[in-house]
């Protein structure tokens, strides 16, 4: 049996695809008319329509990035930007249509909820189809809803924060996002409220040639705390596919936010996502990221430490197999006194896959007394895979403690022999070593996600046998 | 004569160009304790590796069988599952895999069924107590940051938990303090019964003191040149290998 066939079989569990089944699909390509139509469809206020049109202008004025992986294969005119599923917003699992439910069932959403997660906002194609939240959170004033609803019901908060953290001028795909964004989550945690169970959103792409442009806006007000989990897994298609989501996080003074992500995109995806957090005084922002799948990924979550004593941590892992180029990393701007950042980035590459850790650490002149410690480690499973580190360190004050450490490793034959002498097959031995390598990340995830991540690692590794 | 467990017949082993074992013969019966002594570089570790069919070593000639079954060309993990264990001279470090999880996983593989968690935990605790291994030690990553002595004790813990038919201990006593040597000795006694066997590779007689040793073999330049009783070990300790060399 050939290698690719085995890979196909192994991905079956996650590559669940429903028949195309939507009542509305946009014309290919982007025009002002399309944007207007989209806005009308969504029943949006005028200001949002104007915002979209302005973003479209910016999109047209910007060039594709000239650095990083080659994305010329991506034909923007070929992407249907808006796909709406048949179902309307549901608050009960029972109301979710059968075929959509089946897909989600296989992804374990009801189970996750059973395990007392606070709420489930699941995005199917571009709209949130399933959404619920625990009563007690509502009583505490926590708002957790889909982005469209937030635009209509909380216009003031949304207007004040929407694409202010990530401005449309950032890069071409952010501008595109601003023009065509659809779906996503909105969370507001009021001052002093500690949400002690993780909130999760689950979305996936399920339509050929459609982009996914979900927008996540989270505001954790002063002294509040939240753990938000975003998980996604996409079915496989032969056509080029684009994901250009946007995540904006506001962590106000003395607040705490952990944002955990497991991404598992199909191997034809261009994952060009933008995530940024603005962190206030004494506040803490933690990123936990597992990046799997996709053809090309350019993903650099960013923390802007704007208040004194603000802290951020990034813990992430990328796994690149055959034909994948994952250009991931982390960016941090220290912009106030005594701020700190701690980065623990890992990557695994196999079968010729490429992982690049691209990072920025910027310490501005007014960030005296700050600390930054970056450690990146890559594991290569064979001789044809590639791993690279491209750090940019822009340190504008002397009063800092800064360290950067990079390690590249391989699985040694000695270690494999040792494990095989304990009864493990060669594949089991490799898988154990890789899971161990990923453990510093998986231990940060809630247990069901850690299990899913280990399953993904096993699936990726099994693809190598053949 | 006891029932045969391991039989090495006229074994020639090379690593690349280098000929290491040159006509090795060894026969171990159930219930027996065997000792191999020999100068540095004589092929002791290579013998253990050859039993496990280490891919770096080519068998030029000869055969190895376990309970009458030929394992000369079996895969390392199959040989382990058939009941052979080796305590490594230099145990490997596995970051991110706790001793407990590793042992559970290995035991599942060796026994071919999922261990019962409760029994497993009890057994682990009991063995740790006997070996004086602190509770926290098994939550740490396997061998990562362990001292030399801790690594060796951990190998003995693995032996007790995996309960092989044949345990090969490659210099498990080297670099251990007096008390730790006693602990390893105790571990061997706990493991030992009339159905299994131990092959101890050592430079030292201390570890043998409290064990009932059946045979001592002297390995020089890839061959067993002399086999005797426990007294032979003492002789070597006093007189060295001069008599058996060249
Ligand atoms: N993979 C290898 N490639 C080349 N030579 C090897 C290899 N492994 C072992 N040798 C050589 O074979 C000889 C025997 O090695 P071995 O490790 O078996 O010795 P030993 O008897 O265990 O010695 P010690 O008492 O020092 O542990 C040594 O000369 C060693 O350098
Ligand atoms: Mg040796």
**Helix or strand or coil: residue A372?**
strand
Each residue's pLDDT tens digit, B78-108: 999 999 999 999 999 999 999 999 999 999 9
**Looking at the predicted structure, is the pLDDT value of residue A82 above 50?**
no
Mean pLDDT is highest, among A306-310, A425-429, A458-462, for: A306-310
Of A77 and A20, more confident? A77
Closest CA to A330 of A395, A374, A377, A264: A374
Taking contacts as CB-CB distances below 8 angstroms, the residues of chain B near A441 are none
pLDDT 10s digits, B13-63: 999 999 999 999 999 999 999 999 999 999 999 999 999 999 999 999 999
Of the pLDDT bands very low, low, confident and very high (cuts 50, 70, 90), residue A269 is confident
Residue B219 Cα to ligand 1 middle (Å): 13
Token couple for A107: 């992804």
Tell me: pLDDT of A83 over 50. Answer: no
Query: Which of A13-17, A109-113, B235-239 is predicted most confidently?
Result: B235-239
CA pseudo-torsion sign A171, A176, A178, A184: negative
Chain A residues with CB under 8 Å of B81 CB are 423
Q: Do B162 and A432 touch (CB under 8 A)?
A: no
pLDDT score of A252 more than 90: yes
SS3 call for A206: coil
Other CB atoms within 10 A of residue A184 CB: 27
pLDDT of A131 reads 53
Residue with tokens 């029943």: A43
Asked if B96 and A436 come within 8 Å (Cβ–Cβ), the reply is yes
Average pLDDT value for chain A: 81
Q: What is the pLDDT of residues A221-237, one digit of tens each?
A: 999 999 998 876 544 44
User: Is A323 a residue whose pLDDT tops 60?
Assistant: yes
Here the ipTM equals: 0.97
Which residues of chain B lie closer than 8 angstroms to A438, CB-CB? Answer: 96
The reply to whether residue B56 touches residue A413, judged by beta carbons under 8 angstroms, is yes
With a pLDDT cut of 90, the percent of chain A lying above it is: 52
Tell me how close the Cα of A425 comes to any Cα of chain B, in angstroms: 6
Using DSSP, state whether A318 is helix, strand or coil.
Answer: strand
Q: Is A414 on the interface with B (CB under 8 A)?
A: yes
Mean pLDDT value of segment A138-152: 90
Q: Is B112 on the interface with A (CB under 8 A)?
A: no
The class level of CATH for B4-94+165-244 reads alpha beta
- The whole-number average pLDDT for the span B181-201 is 95
Burial A69-95 (b: 16+ CB within 10 A, else e): bebeebebeebbbbbbbebeebeebee
Residues of B whose CB is below 8 A from A420: 52, 75-77, 80
Confidence (pLDDT) at A266: 73
The residue whose CB lies within 8 Å of the most ligand 1 atoms, and thus the one to mutate among B13, B14, B44, is B44
User: Closest approach of chain A CAs to the CA of B110, in angstroms?
Assistant: 5
Both structure tokens of B124: 């682990």
Residue A119 is predicted with a pLDDT of: 40
Name which of A54-68, A112-126, B178-192 the model is least confident about: A112-126
Search chain A and give the residue with CA nearest B84.
Answer: A421
Position B208 pLDDT exceeds 70: yes
- State whether residue B190 sits within 8 Å of chain A by CB: no
Give the C-alpha separation, B127 to B189, whole Å: 12
Cα distance between residue B17 and residue B19, in whole Å: 6
Ligand 2 is a single-atom ion; what residues have CB below 5 A from it? Answer: B 44-45
The pLDDT tens digits of the residues spanning B101-155 come to: 999 999 999 999 999 999 999 999 999 999 999 999 999 999 999 999 999 999 9
Q: Which residues of A touch B86 (CB under 8 A)?
A: 421
* Ligand 1 pocket, residue B177 CB under 6 Å: no
pLDDT > 90? residue A165: yes
Identify which of B103, B13, B18, B110 has the alpha carbon closest to the alpha carbon of residue B60: B13
Given the DSSP bridges, would you call strands A354-363 and A386-395 parallel, antiparallel or unpaired?
A: parallel
Distance B223 CA to ligand 2 centre (A): 15
**Torsion angles phi and psi, residue A109, rounded to 5:** -65, -50
Between residues A145 and A314, which one has the greater pLDDT? A314
Q: Which pLDDT value is given to residue A274?
A: 95
Tell which atom from ligand 1 comes closest to the C-alpha of B43.
18
Predicted pLDDT at A2: 34
pLDDT of residue B210: 84
Among candidates A418, A426, A428 on the partner chain, residue whose Cβ is nearest the Cβ of B109: A428
Mean pLDDT on A133-146: 84
Predicted confidence (pLDDT) at residue B71 exceeds the cutoff of 50: yes
pLDDT number for residue A407: 92
Residue B55 Cβ < 6 Å to ligand 1:
no
* Burial degree of B177 (CB within 10 A; 0-12, 13-18, 19+): exposed
Whether residue A72 is predicted with pLDDT greater than 60 in this model: the reply is yes
Position A462 scores a pLDDT of 72
Expressed in angstroms and rounded, the spacing between residue A107 Cα and the centre of ligand 2 is: 51
Residue A447: what pLDDT? 78
Distance (Å) from CA B41 to ligand 1 centroid: 5
**Best mutation site among B18, B40, B169, B172 for ligand 1 pocket (most ligand atoms within 8 Å of CB):** B18
Alpha carbon B69 to its chain centroid, in Å, reads 20
Helix (H) or strand (E) holding B127: helix B117-131
Q: Does A209 score more than 60 pLDDT? A: no
Cβ atoms within 10 Å, residue B197? 23
> How would residue B2 be classed by pLDDT, with cut points 50, 70 and 90?
low
| A206 pLDDT tier (thresholds 50, 70, 90) | very low
Please tell me the distance in Å from A24's CA to the nearest CA on chain B: 48
Asked if the model's pLDDT at residue A354 lies above 90, the reply is yes
Beta bridge partners, A262, equal A231, A290
Partners of A232 in beta bridges: A203, A263
Name the band, by pLDDT with cuts 50, 70 and 90, for residue B215.
Answer: very high
* Cross-chain residue pair A424–B86, CB shorter than 8 Å: no
pLDDT of residue A31: 81
B54:A417 CB<8 A: yes
Question: Which of A344, A409, A423 is the best residue to mutate to test the B interface, defined by the most B CB atoms within 10 Å of its own CB?
Answer: A423
Does residue A204 carry a pLDDT above 60?
A: no
């Amino acid at each position: 049996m050939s290698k690719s066939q085995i890979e196909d079989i192994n991905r079956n569990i996650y590559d669940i695809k429903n028949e195309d089944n939507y009542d509305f699909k946009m014309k290919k390509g982007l025009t002002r008319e399309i944007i207007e139509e989209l806005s009308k469809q969504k029943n949006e206020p005028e200001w949002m329509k104007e915002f979209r049109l302005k973003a479209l202008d910016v999109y047209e004025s910007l060039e594709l990035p000239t650095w990083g992986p080659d994305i010329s294969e991506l034909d923007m005119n070929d992407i249907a930007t808006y796909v709406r599923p048949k179902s309307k917003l549901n608050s009960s699992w029972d109301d979710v249509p059968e075929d959509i439910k089946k897909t989600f069932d296989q992804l374990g959403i009801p189970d996750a909820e059973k395990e007392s997660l606070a709420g489930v906002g699941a995005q199917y194609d571009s709209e949130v189809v399933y959404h619920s939240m625990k009563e007690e959170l509502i009583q505490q004033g926590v708002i957790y809803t889909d982005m469209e609803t937030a635009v209509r019901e909380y216009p003031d908060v949304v207007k004040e924060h929407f694409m202010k953290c990530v401005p449309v001028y950032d890069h071409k795909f952010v501008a595109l996002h601003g023009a065509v964004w659809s779906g996503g989550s909105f969370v507001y945690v009021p001052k002093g409220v500690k949400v002690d169970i993780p909130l999760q959103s689950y979305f996936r792409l399920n339509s050929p040639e459609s982009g996914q442009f979900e927008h996540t806006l989270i505001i954790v007000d002063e002294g509040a705390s939240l753990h938000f989990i975003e998980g996604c897994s996409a079915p496989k298609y032969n056509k080029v596919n684009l994901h250009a989501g946007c995540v904006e996080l506001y962590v106000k003074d003395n607040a705490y936010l952990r944002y955990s992500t497991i991404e598992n995109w199909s191997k034809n995806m261009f994952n060009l996502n933008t995530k940024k957090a603005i962190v206030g005084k004494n506040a803490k922002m933690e990123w936990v990221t597992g990046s799997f799948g996709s053809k090309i990924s350019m993903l650099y979550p960013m923390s802007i430490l704007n208040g004194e004593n603000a802290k951020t941590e990034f813990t992430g892992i990328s796994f690149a197999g055959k034909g994948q180029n994952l250009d991931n990393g982390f960016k941090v701007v220290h912009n106030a006194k005594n701020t700190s950042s701690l980065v623990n980035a890992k990557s695994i590459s196999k079968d010729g896959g490429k992982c690049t850790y691209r990072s920025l650490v910027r310490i501005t002149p007014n960030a005296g007394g700050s600390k930054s410690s970056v450690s990146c480690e890559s594991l290569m499973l064979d001789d044809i895979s590639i791993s690279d580190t491209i750090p940019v360190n822009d340190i504008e004050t002397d009063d800092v403690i800064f360290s950067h450490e990079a390690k590249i490793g391989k699985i040694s034959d000695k270690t494999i022999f040792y494990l095989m002498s304990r009864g493990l097959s060669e594949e089991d031995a490799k898988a154990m070593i890789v899971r161990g390598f990923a453990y510093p990340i998986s231990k940060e995830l809630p247990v069901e996600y850690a299990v899913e991540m280990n399953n993904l690692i096993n699936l990726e590794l099994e693809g190598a046998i053949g | 004569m006891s029932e045969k467990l391991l039989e090495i017949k006229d074994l020639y082993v090379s690593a690349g160009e280098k000929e290491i074992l040159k006509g090795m013969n060894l026969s171990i019966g159930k219930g027996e304790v065997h000792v191999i002594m020999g100068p540095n570089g004589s092929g002791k570790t290579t013998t253990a590796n050859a039993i496990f069919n280490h891919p770096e070593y080519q068998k030029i000639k000869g055969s190895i069988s376990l309970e009458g079954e030929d394992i000369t060309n079996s895969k390392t993990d199959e040989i382990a599952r058939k009941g052979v264990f080796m305590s490594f001279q230099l145990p490997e470090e596995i970051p991110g895999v706790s001793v407990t999880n590793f042992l559970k996983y290995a035991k599942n593989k060796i026994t071919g069924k999922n261990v019962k968690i409760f029994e497993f935990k009890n057994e682990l605790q009991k063995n740790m107590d006997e070996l004086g291994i602190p509770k926290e030690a098994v939550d740490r990553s396997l061998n990562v940051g362990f001292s030399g002595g801790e690594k060796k004790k951990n190998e003995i813990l693995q032996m007790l938990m995996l309960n092989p038919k044949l345990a090969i201990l490659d210099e498990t006593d080297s670099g251990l303090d007096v008390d730790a040597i006693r602990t390893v000795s105790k571990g061997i006694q706990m493991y030992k019964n009339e159905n299994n066997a131990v092959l101890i590779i050592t430079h030292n007689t201390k570890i043998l003191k409290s064990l009932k040793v059946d045979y001592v073999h002297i390995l020089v330049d890839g061959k067993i040149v002399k086999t005797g009783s426990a007294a032979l070990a003492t002789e070597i300790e006093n007189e060295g290998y001069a008599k058996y060399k060249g």
